[in-house]
């Protein structure tokens, strides 16, 4: 574990060295979400594509809440590792694993039983709701694998190891694509084939990372007989994880409401905008990678008492990430029609998807700044700040716009502009919080 610590050496090289494997790994993670849509859209039809993409906001709403706790676990484990406290590291690891199991079981039960009702509440078009419900039930039937994978990987990354998660994602993503093609083109399954492929591949990746932790030679080793909740570490994980979980959930809740508005424009709009958001996921890979890297970097260095080093790392990450993310946005702006056509050849689908992408992609620097700032707040011990900012700027503002302007103006361009507007708003607020945040000893 010592060679993976982010508390020594050139901080720029450490951050980038830690970030790049996460970036590549996130690319393959995104393939889980996108391979289904690409293969369904090309081998089946636009309605099946709409059925798969229409479930995204619901999946992210429920799964996103659960994954917030893996972020909290990562912060606590990172702190103990930075302080070189093996005893507390072990207790935190076993607490995190057990918490993941409990949350995963609850998520599976709720998702399976309420999938149909949630889709109806969203006003999912009648011609796709049956297939969308089928996809969602199967996905949530295996959602414990999704939750456990992220919890276990959070532990591995907290130790400074970002390479092994990359290897596991490469293997499981390739497996997912192969199974997608086999189930859909060979066995002639519909959206159920895509859902089964995703869950099987995700389960395989869980087994890989669990094997690593069971055989670890340091304090992150998992011993099944020691799985129990440690009160102090559980409290710490919940303290950092719950605000993050709520933050992700309120964002995704607003996305569910926006999806309901999109549904009113028909299946072509659902498919086109769904394809746009799936492709956008690749544009946001840098955001996710830098966010994980800076949270771990700041947490470890605060744990080690390296406060000035933490500040330098924050400044470097903010500047570097924003420049790189905006460059990706410009590329996606230029090639928007070609990107959407990879999902579907329907002119209507391409028009809707291109319209949204060309508006949003120019503002990627703003969403990047907001997410990186949020990650800095978590690493610096202020997990409630991102919750407050995202709740106010992203959730409340979006809901107010939909409940006011959206009720009188039935225009798809409202969907295109609602995201950039709130990205800019949250970025302005985060500037003030970053200036007031003290990087120093934690209480």
Q: Output the six-digit token pair for 118.
A: 């949630």
**SS3 letters across 121-162:** HCCCCCCCHHHHHHHHHHHHHCHHHHHHHHHHHHHHHHCCCC
Judge contact between 21 and 166, C-beta under 8 A. Answer: yes
Tell me what pLDDT residue 230 has: 92
Which class for 242: exposed (0-12), middle (13-18), buried (19 or more C-beta within 10 A)? middle
Rounded distance, CA 32 to CA 174, Å? Answer: 9
Render 290-336 in DSSP notation, one character per residue. HHHHHHHHHHHHHHTT-HHHHHHHHHHHHHHHHHHHHHHHHHHHHTH
Rounded distance, CA 328 to CA 253, Å? Answer: 27
Rounded distance, CA 258 to CA 277, Å? Answer: 12
Q: Is the dihedral angle over the CA atoms 56, 57, 63, 68 positive or is it negative?
A: positive
Residue with tokens 């399954």: 189
Which class for 85: exposed (0-12), middle (13-18), buried (19 or more C-beta within 10 A)? middle
Contacts of 400-405 with CB under 8 Å at 24 or more apart are 402/257, 402/258, 402/261
Enclosing H/E stretch for 113 = helix 86-121
Which class for 28: exposed (0-12), middle (13-18), buried (19 or more C-beta within 10 A)? buried
Q: What string of pLDDT tens digits covers the 443 residues of the chain?
A: 555 677 788 888 888 888 888 888 777 777 666 766 677 766 777 677 777 766 776 777 667 777 778 878 888 888 888 788 889 999 999 999 999 999 889 888 888 888 788 788 777 777 778 888 888 888 888 889 888 988 998 898 888 787 888 888 888 888 988 898 899 888 888 888 888 988 899 899 999 999 999 998 888 899 999 999 999 999 988 888 887 777 767 777 777 778 788 888 888 888 888 888 888 887 788 888 898 888 888 888 887 888 888 889 999 999 999 999 999 999 999 999 999 998 888 888 899 999 999 999 999 999 999 989 988 888 787 777 887 888 888 888 888 888 888 888 888 889 899 989 999 999 999 998 888 877 766 54
Rounded distance, CA 137 to CA 102, Å? Answer: 19
Rounded distance, CA 220 to CA 385, Å? Answer: 29
Tell me what pLDDT residue 274 has: 82
Judge contact between 76 and 240, C-beta under 8 A. Answer: yes
Residue 21 has φ and ψ, to the nearest 5°, of: -60, -35
Tell me what pLDDT residue 441 has: 62
Helix (DSSP H) and strand (DSSP E) numbers for the chain = 18, 0
Rounded distance, CA 352 to CA 130, Å? Answer: 23
The count of residues in the chain is 443
Residue closest to 376 by CA, chosen among 24, 161, 70, 368: 368
Tell me what pLDDT residue 270 has: 83
Strands (E), 177-255: none
Tell me what pLDDT residue 187 has: 85
Judge contact between 315 and 398, C-beta under 8 A. Answer: no
Q: Output the six-digit token pair for 228.
A: 């129990």
């Amino acid at each position: 574990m010592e060679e993976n610590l982010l508390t020594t050496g050139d901080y720029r090289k450490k951050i980038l060295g830690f970030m790049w494997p996460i970036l590549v790994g996130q690319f393959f993670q995104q393939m889980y979400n996108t391979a289904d849509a690409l293969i369904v859209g090309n081998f089946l039809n636009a309605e099946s594509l709409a059925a798969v993409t229409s479930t995204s906001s619901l999946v992210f709403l429920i799964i996103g809440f659960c994954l917030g706790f893996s972020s909290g676990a990562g912060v606590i484990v990172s702190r103990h590792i930075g302080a070189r406290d093996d005893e507390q590291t072990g207790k935190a690891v076993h607490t995190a694993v057990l918490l993941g199991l409990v949350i995963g079981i609850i998520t599976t039960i709720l998702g399976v039983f309420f999938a149909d009702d949630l889709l109806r509440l969203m006003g999912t078009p009648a011609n796709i709701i049956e297939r969308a419900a089928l996809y969602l039930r199967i996905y949530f039937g295996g959602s414990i694998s999704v939750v456990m994978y992220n919890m276990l990987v959070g532990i591995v990354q907290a130790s400074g190891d970002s390479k092994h998660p990359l290897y596991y994602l490469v293997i499981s993503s390739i497996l997912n694509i192969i199974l997608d093609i086999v189930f859909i083109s060979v066995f002639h399954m519909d959206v159920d084939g895509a859902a089964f492929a995703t869950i099987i591949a995700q389960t395989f990746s869980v087994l890989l990372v669990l094997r690593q932790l069971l055989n670890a030679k340091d304090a992150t080793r998992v011993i099944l007989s020691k799985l129990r909740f440690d009160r102090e570490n559980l409290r710490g994980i919940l303290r950092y994880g719950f605000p993050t979980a709520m933050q992700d959930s309120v964002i995704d809740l607003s996305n569910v409401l926006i999806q309901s508005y999109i549904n009113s424009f028909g299946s072509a709009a659902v498919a086109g905008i769904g394809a746009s958001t799936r492709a956008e996921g690749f544009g946001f890979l840098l955001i996710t990678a830098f966010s994980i890297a800076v949270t771990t970097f700041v947490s470890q260095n605060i744990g080690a008492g390296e406060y000035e080093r933490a500040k330098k790392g924050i400044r470097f990450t903010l500047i570097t990430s924003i420049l790189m993310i905006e460059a990706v946005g410009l590329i996606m702006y230029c090639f928007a029609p070609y990107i959407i056509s990879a999902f579907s050849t329907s002119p209507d689908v391409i028009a809707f998807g291109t319209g949204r992408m060309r508006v949003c992609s120019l503002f990627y620097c703003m969403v990047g700044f907001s997410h990186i700032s949020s990650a800095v707040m978590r690493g610096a011990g202020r997990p409630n700040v991102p919750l407050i900012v995202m709740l106010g700027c992203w959730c409340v503002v979006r809901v107010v716009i939909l409940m006011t302007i959206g009720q009188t103006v039935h225009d798809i361009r409202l969907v295109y502009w609602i995201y950039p507007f709130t990205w800019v708003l949250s970025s302005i607020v985060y500037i003030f919080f970053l200036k007031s945040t003290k990087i120093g000893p934690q209480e």
